[in-house]
Structure 1
Amino acid sequence: MKKNELKKEVSGITALTVLVGTVIGAGIFFKPTAVYGASGAPGLGLLAWFVAGIITMAGGLTVAEIGTIYPQTGGMMIYLEKVYGRWLGFLVGWAQMIIYYPANVAALTIIFATQFVNLFALSDNIIVPIAIITAILLMGINFLGTKYSGRIQTAATILKLIPILVIIVAGLLYPGGGVVRLIPLSVESHPVLTSFGSALVATLFAYDGWINVGTLAGEMKSPGKMLPKVIIGGLLIVMTVYVLINIAYLFVLDSTQLAGTDTPAALVASYLFDGIGSKLVTIGILISVFGGINGYIISGLRVPYALATQKMLPFSNWFAKVNAKTNLPINGGLVILGIAILMILTGQFNQLTDLIVFVIWIFITLTFIAVIILRKTQPNIERPYKVPLYPIIPLVAIIGGLYIVINTLIVQPENAFIGIFLTLIGIPVYLYCKKKYGIPEKE
């Protein structure tokens, strides 16, 4: 094995828990506020959760095909590079390194710190310090090795499902609840198309993270067989959980109440359980968010490494170093941690999450299109897995992705501009590295 290669130490269970544990993080507990605030009605909000699940499932089924063709460390960065050229592969890796992963870590640690402060009735002034300490702590645990971070991920994934299942069962049995609380579909004060689009963007943050399991493909023992099973199985679990828990929420509170609180899951728990029961659910939420942060760090560490091994970053030799004891690329993690801390200092959870969704879905949509391009340009390439019902499922994924991107451009142009600007900063970086290292545009 070469000095700077990563070992194939990621099992199917670890990969599955990374996917489920990363996706089911903070969004399901906090995004109902934005979803029902944007939709204005329970029916449209619930529809957004369901449609987001369909888009995500179609996307997962589609990406699994290209993921088994190119099962290398780097995930989406590798897919886009192989199909469109190194410049686009670099740009997605750049966007993930300076926006996507740091912003996810920042947003989730802010949520973790906020819940921690609320649970122990502490001062809001220490939210930012707690968030920073949490980010440093989890990055440090990941630096100890995949074995330790994987164990945390597995434990957190199992433990986080407990409060979710408790809320689902208790909510569905709540006196006075029922399907009548899931209507109306819409209200006159909220235009259906734009309201649905904004609600969809909010739900897709809750579904976000599934594609990151592709960054671990190079460390999987049998990626061709394992990756599709992990993506499809994990997303089925996530979609089922999300739809059921939102029905449970609406059985307890109406959409106006959910839209009017910053902590919808905790408020629902306070109605369902007295005193200690509500606190136990909040502790479960903290564990869930903790696992979500850990999942993003596990995936995020590999992106600067993947860029650096292809000489696509300044100081590539430094970024590509693998720690001899832990077999991990630690230096890229330090950069992601530094950017995340700067973002934590802004304290803007919702702006960060909307920014994440917009930027990453530009590249995810291009990945869906890449599957169709490969079917035409390389029909004979080995495909251990093929997306079913081709081309219908890829087209569903593409249409969903385009809707998300275009709606954000219309409804949130400021966020869109920030995301595009930060991504395009990567172009001069790429040109500099291309000149310095003499990297070809294609292999």
Structure 2
Amino acid sequence: MEQKQSHLKKEIGLFAAIATVMGTVIGGGVFFKVATVVAATQSASLTLLVWVLGGLLTLAAGLTVTELAAAIPVTGGAVKYIEYTYGKLPAFLLGWAQMIVYFPANIAALSIIFGTQWVALLHWSNSAILPVAIVAGASITGLNFLGARVGARVQSVSLIFKLIPIALIVIVGLLAPAHVNFAWTALTSTHQTSFLSALSAGLVATMFAYDGWLGVGAIAGEMKNPKRDLPLAIGGGLIAITLIYVLINLVFVRTLPISALSGNLNAAADAALRIFGDLGGKLVTIGILISVYGAINGYTMTGMRVPFAMAEEDALPFSHLFKRLSPHTSVPYFAGAVQFGIALIMMLLGSFDLLTDMLVFVMWGFSVLLFIAVFILRKREPELMRPYRVPGYPIIPAIALIGGIFILVVTLMTQPLLAIIGIVLTALGVPVYLYHAKHQRA
């Protein structure tokens, strides 16, 4: 029975893979991060510039790592690429960081956002936010227990529906007369901060909105044709996401003044209210609900497969439990249940925002290792079968590498405590790894 269940079904096609990329990345960030970005830049044109730069950096990163994904198309994604290049301990630390904090923290944060918007839409008491958040997270975990095909279908449907309100805001907002005029060439902050400081702070702020693209590699083992479809899914999905982000932020800066956008988490609703009237606020809230629900699904679907892949290699304590698949749907149900359990604790503690910010820093640390891995493997294994090669090598990988190092340095300089805590949480995986290795030898 165990042998029969040890293989995941190949049920995910190209559209579902693109939907996973776009659905995971396009979540609350498209609506909420405008407040943080504008607060950093204090300039309409500089705001648009950092969204473009953030998209180009993410695209360079995605195109670079896709070479690894196509050459090593196995479930587990980045964990497997790190292991193939650097060995088992660094791979374990990435999987540990993703499993213990990164995926559960994103699920918790997005579930709380879902609960907040649901309560605002229906005018319920704020005391209902946490119960709604728990129901949202639990329902998505339950849907994913029905099989990869169901999770992928939820992703595809939520992507279509989430793009409708975004498209309406973009099209109507760009056709409507501008309420605010700004100079495209005025790339300076109105605050007494240098251009570089405003640019770097704004760029780092966009990274949460662009986060999530790396996780799609985790479903490679369940894709029908990963060597062909994975590069198309990551490249095409990230280009579309960048275009969407730039256009919707163009609408925001044309509709509301900088002072109304800066630090205002309801900026999207306020902009829609200005464009559509009273219906606008509800429209955007419904759009946020659908968008966030799809994003939770993307993190849930990809996240539960990381500990499964690690358990297949017997790399975790209790690996025999984590690699269990349900007999009818071939889904790693124990890994999914543990993931939701950690997310539930984070929802109850309310520290999900801090944890998410820390792990964005940690994930970019591992992303830098992945960029370097492309160079290492090109030299170490020139004969490795590469159905896809990153275009413009070595320029594109170099751009990704420089951008990743830039994000790490800026975070260390501006939020040193946050960065250090993130590093410490990841490093806690070392004694777990050593203890498990010793237990195996014994």
1:19 to 1:312, Cα distance in 2 relative to 1, 3 A? same
Q: For the Cα contact (< 8 Å) 2:44–2:182, is it kept in 1?
A: no
Normalised TM-score (structure 1)? 0.96
Does 1:270 pair with 2:305? no
Q: For the Cα contact (< 8 Å) 2:5–2:330, is it kept in 1?
A: no
Counterpart CA distance in 2 for 1:253 and 1:356 is 32
Counterpart CA distance in 2 for 1:329 and 1:182 is 50
Describe the superposition over 1:252-308 as per-residue Cα deviations: whole angstroms up to 9, x where unpaired.
Answer: 012221113112211111111122343123112110110010011010010010111
In structure 2, the partner of 1:231 is 234
* AA at the equivalent of 1:227: L
In structure 2, the partner of 1:26 is 28
Q: For the Cα contact (< 8 Å) 1:181–1:251, is it kept in 2?
A: no
Number of aligned positions between the proteins: 439
Q: CA RMSD for the aligned pairs?
A: 1.6
Describe the superposition over 1:295-350 as per-residue Cα deviations: whole angstroms up to 9, x where unpaired.
Answer: 11010010010111111111000111111011000111111111111222243564
Measured after TM superposition, the shift of residue 85 of structure 1 is 0.5
Q: For the Cα contact (< 8 Å) 1:201–1:354, is it kept in 2?
A: no
Measured after TM superposition, the shift of residue 121 of structure 1 is 1.6
Does 1:313 pair with 2:345? no
In structure 2, the partner of 1:198 is 201
Measured after TM superposition, the shift of residue 236 of structure 1 is 1.0
Q: For the Cα contact (< 8 Å) 2:102–2:356, is it kept in 1?
A: no
Does 1:365 pair with 2:368? yes
Describe the superposition over 1:68-115 as per-residue Cα deviations: whole angstroms up to 9, x where unpaired.
Answer: 111000000000000000111111010000111011101111111111
Counterpart CA distance in 2 for 1:361 and 1:73 is 20
Measured after TM superposition, the shift of residue 176 of structure 1 is 3.1
Q: For the Cα contact (< 8 Å) 2:180–2:257, is it kept in 1?
A: no
Measured after TM superposition, the shift of residue 177 of structure 1 is 4.2
Counterpart CA distance in 2 for 1:123 and 1:274 is 25
Does 1:297 pair with 2:308? no
Q: For the Cα contact (< 8 Å) 1:387–1:393, is it kept in 2?
A: yes
In structure 1, the partner of 2:358 is 355
* Greater mean alpha carbon deviation, residues 338-347 or residues 225-234: 338-347
Q: For the Cα contact (< 8 Å) 1:108–1:289, is it kept in 2?
A: yes
Counterpart CA distance in 2 for 1:86 and 1:252 is 51
* AA at the equivalent of 1:134: A
1:141 to 1:90, Cα distance in 2 relative to 1, 3 A? same
Q: Per the alignment, in what secondary structure is the counterpart of residue 369 of structure 2?
A: helix
In structure 2, the partner of 1:408 is 411
Counterpart CA distance in 1 for 2:359 and 2:42 is 23
Counterpart CA distance in 2 for 1:202 and 1:435 is 41
What are the ranges of 5 or more consecutive residues in structure 1 without an aligned counterpart?
none
Q: Per the alignment, in what secondary structure is the counterpart of residue 110 of structure 1?
A: helix
Q: For the Cα contact (< 8 Å) 2:180–2:256, is it kept in 1?
A: no
1:374 to 1:312, Cα distance in 2 relative to 1, 3 A? same
The within-5 A match list for 1:22-421 is 22-177=24-179, 180=182, 182=184, 184-187=186-189, 188-348=191-351, 350-421=353-424
Counterpart CA distance in 2 for 1:400 and 1:338 is 34
Measured after TM superposition, the shift of residue 438 of structure 1 is 4.3
* Greater mean alpha carbon deviation, residues 396-405 or residues 8-17: 8-17
Counterpart CA distance in 1 for 2:39 and 2:26 is 21
Q: Per the alignment, in what secondary structure is the counterpart of residue 182 of structure 2?
A: helix
In structure 1, the partner of 2:440 is 437
What are the ranges of 5 or more consecutive residues in structure 2 without an aligned counterpart?
none
* Greater mean alpha carbon deviation, residues 4-13 or residues 195-204: 195-204
1:179 to 1:356, Cα distance in 2 relative to 1, 3 A? farther
Counterpart CA distance in 1 for 2:439 and 2:263 is 53
Counterpart CA distance in 1 for 2:181 and 2:393 is 35
Runs of 4+ more than 4 Å apart: none
Q: Per the alignment, in what secondary structure is the counterpart of residue 180 of structure 1?
A: coil
Q: For the Cα contact (< 8 Å) 1:182–1:247, is it kept in 2?
A: no
Q: For the Cα contact (< 8 Å) 2:82–2:369, is it kept in 1?
A: yes
Aligned sequence identity (%): 48
Counterpart CA distance in 2 for 1:305 and 1:337 is 14
Measured after TM superposition, the shift of residue 178 of structure 1 is 6.6
